[in-house]
Structure 1
Amino acid sequence: MYIQQAYNFLHDWWRYLVGAILIFIASQLGSIPFILAVVLKKLSNGGGFAELQDTNSLLNVLDSNLTLFLMLLSFAIGLLGLYIVVKYLHKQPFVTLTTSRRKTDWGRVWFGFGLIAVVTIVLTLVDYYSSPQDYIVQFDAVPFIILAVIAIVMIPLQTSFEEYLFRGYLMQGLGTIVGNKWLPLIVTSVVFGGLHFFNPEVDKLGPSIMVYYIGTGFFLGIITLMDDGMELALGFHAANNMVGAMLVTADWTVFQTHSIFKDISEPVVDFATVFGPVFVMYPIFIAIMAWRYKWNNWGQKLFGKVTKPSPSTIPPQEIV
């Protein structure tokens, strides 16, 4: 069981508290290069800082490729901090934060990646051909190639940090502390979605967009618990952000990139943009994954207790 295996290592509640603080500090240290670059750019242009009052204003100071790289750098540093915390504070092999299987199942990672990548590309092209007036084709080879390199290298680090933190570290930590699965699922999903409240999309679309972010957290948490590992969530999250960054951008999104398309339509909050993905597409994705990987025992996997395994069931090398 994915959460249960955390009992095999150092799992005192205070370790998760200290670990979460250290991971937060690491991610904040990783944001310093971005802040310094913005400050130096403003100083070199003779500008002031009064106008840097929100996320959008910060995102427009530097070239979009440099902005993207520096933004993602903080997540990469955060991921390194998380790895160090797991390895040295919990004495836990990183693979056990990834999956309950003996090794990472890369087939599952690629399946999750391909599923959302194909759907996103198809739906975007359908929307483009049905409403071409809503898009500008802004493909420029050199900036796009630079974007592609940054996206392929850095976005998986960003999404992996979020997955390992919420669906991994905090899910296992809360599970061992409270002894059940439903509370870690709820808490990690709501907190994950809540942290997106400061995204520019919320300013543009309003707080109702939080249904999408929190719903995405629940979707990723559900497939992690049902599959006893994060592989599907890792692939899905990476493809969602990577394809989105390279395929289409808009002036009001957090990723403002040299993508192929730019959406110039006035965004609206409706069923298709907010509720459709959560209440239609995500259940379909779950059904596809459940069919492919033969998921069963839903009640136990999503709402069951997390019990400490007996010493006789713990491999000798895992007893701490």
Structure 2
Amino acid sequence: MLTVAEPLSPYHRLARTPAHRWWRTVLGTLFIVVGTTVLALGGYAVVTSAAVVAGRPDGPDGLPTFGALADLAVSCLMIAALLPAILLAARLIQERPAGTLSSVTGRLRLDWLLTCLAVAGVAIALFIGTIMVVDSVTGADTDLTGELAGWGPFLGSALVLLLVVPPQVAAEEYLTRGWLLQAVGAWCRRPWLPITVQAVVFAALHGWGTPWGFADLVLFGLVAGWLTVRTGGLEAAIALHLANNLLAFLVSAAFGEFGVDETAADMPWRYVVIDVPVLLGYAAVIAWLARRRNVRHTTPVPPVPAALPATFGRLPHAAGTAAQR
């Protein structure tokens, strides 16, 4: 039997249900790790085997590959394998609705997600545009200074990216701002420790690059975690993450440059200086919109059933007539 948190619970407390036990979180986490590993390695083996059969050349890792774009797509889908494992862990092991990972309403609020995505698109476009201008003025050596790839290759790459980046982003958000934040939040009434823990883990999962890059990822995680609790769901965090990854990949596709070796953890200091005000500005705008639109940030109170009118003797004539039809 599925159970839910008590009414008026904030997002980070949604795993604190009557069925909550410490071992359920531990077992669920192990299930996520094992399940994702099996799915990801299985998918990778299928793609690699297909490349061998097709006689494809070896890639940087010494295994046959279908090219840089295919490698990026496979990498995204391997991460996306987290998503079904996380949802199943919540439902089968924690015995709560999987939708409580999405928001306090038990579902992903698509209208709010689209609103956040519009704001995030503007913020990330400003971030990337400023980076390109700064690099151009300073003469910094980047991969985005060559010739454009052309409309044909770009549109083909864009189609692939639109298919694989959203599930990759969703999986990362459901893992960190969802599962992990709620797992720690089940033991904490206040949200700051869960927000901080998931932000550090989120940064660590991207690797240990430059100190500036790691700090920027921690800030990204803090902003996304705070917005998740403030707005009662993952929509604002997913929107920011999706806009960031998708626009960055699309810009790379325009120049025919794909690579999975570098992550945001390798970000230089000049990019971090640009990113900090963008992240804080996004958080301020989303918080303002959430307050203006009264976006729910706690679980609703079940409606109290209306008392039935007392009936004495025989039914009223109208009711009796309706019953006879």
TM-score bracket for the superposition, by shorter chain length: 0.7 to 0.9
Tell me the equivalent position of 1:247.
251
For the pair 1:269 / 2:268, whether they are aligned, the reply is yes
Contact 1:189 1:214 (8 Å CA) reproduced: yes
1:164 to 174, 191, 195: 174
Contact 1:112 1:235 (8 Å CA) reproduced: yes
Contact 1:245 1:255 (8 Å CA) reproduced: no
CA deviation after TM superposition for structure 1 residue 37, in Å: 4.3
More helix by share: 1
Alpha carbons of structure 1 residues 218 and 128: separation in structure 2 relative to 1, 3 Å: closer
1:3 to 2, 12, 16: 12
Contact 2:131 2:271 (8 Å CA) reproduced: no
Q: Residue deviations 1:126-150, cap 9 Å, x none?
A: 5556728762243333433332222
Alpha carbons of structure 1 residues 27 and 146: separation in structure 2 relative to 1, 3 Å: farther
How far, CA to CA, are the matches of 1:86 and 1:126 in structure 2? 41
Q: Which amino acid aligns with 1:81?
A: A
Alpha carbons of structure 1 residues 82 and 103: separation in structure 2 relative to 1, 3 Å: closer
How far, CA to CA, are the matches of 1:285 and 1:314 in structure 2? 33
Tell me the equivalent position of 1:155.
165
Q: Residue deviations 1:240-262, cap 9 Å, x none?
A: 11111112368695389xxxxxx
Contact 2:68 2:259 (8 Å CA) reproduced: no
Two-structure CA RMSD over aligned residues (Å)? 3.5
Tell me the equivalent position of 2:197.
187
Secondary structure of 2:190's aligned partner: coil
CA deviation after TM superposition for structure 1 residue 161, in Å: 0.8
Tell me the equivalent position of 1:260.
none
How far, CA to CA, are the matches of 1:46 and 1:255 in structure 2? 19
For the pair 1:12 / 2:9, whether they are aligned, the reply is no
CA deviation after TM superposition for structure 1 residue 8, in Å: 3.0
- Which has the higher Rg, Structure 1 or Structure 2? 2
Secondary structure of 1:6's aligned partner: coil
Contact 2:203 2:218 (8 Å CA) reproduced: yes
How far, CA to CA, are the matches of 1:180 and 1:234 in structure 2? 23
Contact 1:82 1:165 (8 Å CA) reproduced: yes
Q: Which amino acid aligns with 2:272?
A: V
Tell me the equivalent position of 2:33.
24
Contact 1:86 1:92 (8 Å CA) reproduced: yes
2:79 to 64, 75, 78: 75
Contact 1:9 1:92 (8 Å CA) reproduced: no
Q: Residue deviations 1:135-175, cap 9 Å, x none?
A: 22433334333322222222111111111111111111111
TM-score of the superposition, structure 1-length normalised?
A: 0.73
Identity of aligned residues (%): 21
For the pair 1:64 / 2:68, whether they are aligned, the reply is yes
